[in-house]
Structure 1
Amino acid sequence: MEMLNEIINQVNTILWSYILIVLLIGLGLYFTIRTGFVQLRYLPNMFRVLVEGTGSRQLGQISSFQAFCVSTASRVGVGNIAGVAIAIVLGGPGAIFWMWVVAIIGSATGFVESTLAQIYKIPRGKWNYHGGPAYYIQNVLHMPKLAKLFSLLLMTTFALVYNSLQANTITLSLESAFGWDRTIVGVVVSILLALVLCGGAHFVARVAEMLVPVMAGAYLLITLFVIVTNFGRLPEVFALIISNAFAPQAAVAGGFGACLMNGIKRGLFSNEAGEGSVPNAAATAYVSHPVKQGLIQSFGVYVDTLLICSASAALVLLSGVYEISGKVTGIELIQKCLAAEVGSWSVIFIGVMIMMFAFSSLVGNYYYGEINLAFLTGSKAALYVFRAAVVAMTMFGSIASLPLVWNLADLFMAFLATTNLYAISRLFKFAKIALDDYEQQLAQGMDPEFDPHVLPSLDGVYAWGMEKK
């Protein structure tokens, strides 16, 4: 295991040092400029379309709000809590600044990929859609082998590797909070997950819709209490983050490079912008215009990183419990920070909260995997085998070592993001046409509705006004 972990770590260094940073930042800036800073200009509009998505819907429809909750269920998890603590320990407080940068730039990338997923989604029964990178890679770029590779990577990354990571965090936090045996906790979590998965995609969406607001609200309340009670020190925290972003503390092994890479890696793991995962949820929503879901999913990046990750960072930095390059990291550090600020009872609170965060991510990650399995095969037998593999990897993660699980997650995340970023860089022009159409209709005082004939080609379009084709 030690040798495997070292090999994976070396590969990650190459991928993240020379490929992913250039692709993520470069394309994010390109999309930001070409869309006229859509992620900032349309921030008020994001709220409006999100509220609009909570309205009434036809039986069987997945609303834009439900799709947002599914993607948030996957995004809002250990990356927002344990991942932030790891970024600070390995990269120093300055890593948080680079997480913010990735979020602001990445929200433009998130807009593009989710808008494309909506344009090129395919109907699967009345009011039911599937879509995502695999679909637009195959149906628009006409690269079926790359599409299948992406589907396999996403299924492996999210439903298997990421779920093992979520399970790892659940068992560690409950062991710390209650002294519970990790193996027993893993068995219980695996059984609960299996029961939810048997309910199918719509049941998964309903579970996410219920869990996400509760867990995010409860966690933000307790971190808000810590921030309010230490309000006078907030300027000091912001100054520490910004100053260390460009001149990391001497204790940071690797200096500026470690600060930058840890911020970007943990930022991408947290908000998933450009990774190609969120479009799978975005495509399932019923909306009148693809740009609406693109804006909603772009807003999700802000919720994830600028809100929840920042709350976690404030908690760690205000407590002063952390130690750069120290041995205590991840969820255990968060628990120590809370205990120092609000008392030992918070160790139990965070254990329960992590259970909710991570379990919602288990559910959301599986949802992505099922969508991509449907792309590869409609076999019921394959679905049952896949569900069994998801449960098995959840059990594996429950007892595996922390460094190996996180390094595996970084490796597969890099492969997945590279594939999707290549695709959306080629297809961006269609998302831009959709955005221009949306803006023109808004300027005329209309509630935008999408007519696919604004596109130069209907190639790959299967769910929008095809009766006019």
Structure 2
Amino acid sequence: MEAINNVVLAVSNFLYQPFILPVILLVGGLYFTIRTGGVQIRMFKDCLRVVTEKPKTENGISSFGALMVSTASRVGTGNIIGVATAVICGGSGAIFWMWLSAFLGGASAFIESTLAQIYKKKNADGSSYGGPAFYMRDALNARWLGVIFSVLIIFTYAIGYNMLAAFNLQSTFKVFSFYGDRTPAIIGVILAALFGAVVIGGAHRLVKVTGVLVPVMGIIYVAISLIVLVLNIGNVPAMFAGIFKNAFDFQAIFGGFAGSCIMFGIKRGLYSNEAGMGSAPNAAATADVSHPAKQGLVQMLSVFIDTMLICTATAFMCLSTNIIPQNYLGADGSADAAGYVQAATASTLGKFGPIFIAFAMCLFAFTTLIGNYSYCEGCIRFIIQRDIKPGELLAFRLFATALVFVGSIASAGLVWNTADMMQGLMVITNMPTILLLGGTAVKCLRDYQKQKAEGKDPHFVAADIELKQDTDFWK
């Protein structure tokens, strides 16, 4: 395990050099923000409006339905443990860089999800599917790149993110007296059994129940954070001063960039909101909408919900208290993120705080596991270019289930480094692609705006933007 972790860490450290991933994400997001005329701000009202629209066909997936699939993957353990880790390891200024990466990433999310809608494919029943692998194949004529990206998604979500979600969940129970050496394995068995019941046993009712509970829990989570913030109102001015002072301490940042607030803000922001990675477009492609730009706007809203609401709620809930985050930084550089969040809530809410965090993590982690897995089977079909045989599918589902258990008992360094490496590889594959194809999404946005200005409910026709490639939809 140590040898594997050393290799993973070396690759991860290379990817997060100052002029690789940070530049790709921030500069790419800034470029799309300029090209779209600041779509994140200018069309925020449209985001709220289109998310309520019904699908075009009776059995189609609505914009809201596709939003919930992508949000189930985005809103998870990263919003709690990821944010706390960023603050402990990078300082409070990491929150500013998380905000900035999410703001700029909103434009990237719009571009990638709009492209997924334009190039989506049609199932026999009329429903749709797609994602980056398909716009890589159909728009760039690079099926090989789509295959590489599909492999990366499988490794990132079935292995990296799902192992990390399981690890983060069990770590929230360390503060309770019953936690012992066997607790991670026990939690791993329970979590793997629930996961397997859904992906192997078809217990989809469980997903529907948690799918309803998670938005409710998200609202409650933000409300609890506001209560903590109000009860510590005297610390709020110093909290904001600390965030901005630390964010622009460039001497400290460039003195040790790998452990700086910028790097941890980008790493943990990406882990949480996934903007530019190419994951959410797989969900966006399933939506039944009249115009691709509509789903681009909806997925942009998902980034806002994830980072500006849930991640910020965690940051404020922790930083407004008198709990010092650096006290939870281990000698080996690891962070007891769960302990920090629970200590912060306990300092204000007493015993209720740690219990609430553990309960929220249980819901968020489970839906994250299912949301992450939902991206994988379609990628396998793209790779092998046929339907997956029942035996093959069962083997993969058993493998994915086993990884949930492994994640719960693995070391913190290995699961975090694996997730960081895999998400970085996805970014350097997807972002250059959407930079090449972004012009098509911008034309699509202009077409949407033109029809809106004419008082129409926008309906897209590929020929209107002179799209050269054939599409299953939009004729």
Report TM bin, short chain. over 0.9
Distance 1:338 1:322 in 2: 13
* Between 364-373 and 327-336, the greater mean CA deviation after superposition: 327-336
Summarize the alignment of residues 356-395 of structure 1 with structure 2, pairs less than 5 Å apart: 356-377=363-384, 378-380=387-389, 381-395=391-405
Contact 2:121–2:130, Cα closer than 8 Å, also in 1: yes
Q: Which residue of 1 aligns with 2:473?
A: 463
Query: Superposition pairs for residues 241-260 of structure 1, below 5 Å?
Result: 241-247=243-249, 254=256, 258-260=260-262
Query: Number of aligned pairs?
Result: 463
1:427 aligns with 2:437: yes
Amino acid aligned to 1:333: Y
Q: TM-score, normalised by structure 1?
A: 0.93
Q: Quote the residue 2:305 is aligned against.
A: 303
Per-residue deviation, 1:90: 0.9
For 1:49, the equivalent position in structure 2 comes to 50
Matched, 1:350 2:357: yes
> Could you tell me whether the CA contact under 8 Å between 2:55 and 2:288 is conserved in 1?
no
2:133 matched to which residue of 1?
Answer: 134
Unaligned runs of 5+ in 2: none
Maintained 8 Å contact 2:235/2:321: no
Question: In 2, are the aligned partners of 1:316 and 1:322 still within 8 Å (CA)?
Answer: no
Counterpart in the other structure of 1:174: 173
User: 1:258 Cα deviation (Å)?
Assistant: 1.4
Taking only aligned residues, the RMSD between alpha carbons, in angstroms, comes to 2.3
Match of 2:285 in 1: 283
Q: TM-score, normalised by structure 2?
A: 0.92
Work out the CA distance in 1 between the residues paired with 2:318 and 2:354.
14
| Partner Cα distance (1:199, 1:120) in 2 | 32
Q: Is the 8 A contact 1:5 1:407 kept in 2?
A: yes
Deviation at 1:62, TM superposition (A): 1.7
Listed one character per residue, the Cα deviations across residues 383-414 of structure 1 (whole Å, up to 9, x for unaligned) are 22221111011010011011110000000111
2-side partners of 1:247 and 1:281: how far apart?
39
Secondary structure at the counterpart of residue 21 of structure 2: helix
* Deviation string, structure 1 residues 55-92 (Cα, Å, up to 9, x no partner): 47755422110110111110111111101111011110
Find the counterpart in structure 1 of residue 348 from structure 2: 341
1:326 is aligned to 2:329: yes
- TM-superposed CA distance for 1:304, in Å, is 0.7
Equivalent residue letter for 2:31: Y
- Indicate the residue corresponding to 2:12 in structure 1: 12
**Alignment partner for residue 417 of structure 2, among 407, 411, 416?**
407
Kindly tell me: are residues 399 and 247 of structure 1, through their superposed partners in 2, closer, same or farther at Cα, counting changes over 3 Å? same
Q: Decide whether aligned partners of structure 1 residues 202 and 108 sit closer, same or farther in structure 2, where only a CA change above 3 A counts.
A: farther
When residues 369 and 200 of structure 1 are mapped into structure 2, their CA distance, relative to the original with a 3 A threshold, is farther
- Asked whether the equivalents of residues 253 and 261 of structure 2 are also in contact (C-alpha less than 8 Å), the reply is no
**Is the 8 Å Cα contact of residues 160 and 393 (structure 1) preserved in structure 2?**
yes
Per mean C-alpha deviation after superposition, the further-off stretch among 239-248 and 191-200 is: 191-200
Match of 2:286, SS? coil
Q: Which residue of 2 aligns with 1:78?
A: 77
Provide the residue aligned with 1:29 in structure 2: 30
Q: What percentage of aligned pairs have identical amino acids?
A: 44
Q: Which moved more, 1:98-107 or 1:312-321?
A: 312-321
Q: Specify whether residues 369 and 430 from structure 1 end up closer, same or farther in structure 2 by C-alpha distance, changes over 3 A only.
A: same
CA distance in 1, matches of 2:22, 2:253: 23
CA distance in 1, matches of 2:320, 2:67: 31
Relative to structure 2, which stretch is displaced further, 119-128 or 431-440?
119-128
Kept in 2: contact 1:174–1:352 (CA 8 A): no
Cα contact 2:99–2:308 (8 A) shared by 1: yes
Against the structure 1 CA distance between its residues 201 and 125, is the aligned structure 2 distance closer, same or farther, given a 3 Å change threshold? farther
Residues 254 and 414 of structure 1: is their aligned pair in 2 closer, same or farther, counting only changes over 3 Å? same
Distance 1:240 1:370, change over 3 A: same
1:264 corresponds to which letter in structure 2? I
Q: How does 1:74-223 map to 2 (within 5 A)?
A: 74-177=73-176, 179-180=178-179, 181-198=183-200, 206=208, 209-223=211-225
> Which amino acid in 2 is paired with 1:382?
E
Moved over 6 A (4+): 199-205, 248-253
Work out whether residues 85 and 331 of structure 1, in 8 Å CA contact, stay in contact via their aligned partners in 2. Answer: yes
Contact 1:111–1:295, Cα closer than 8 Å, also in 2: yes
Q: Which amino acid aligns with 1:244?
A: N
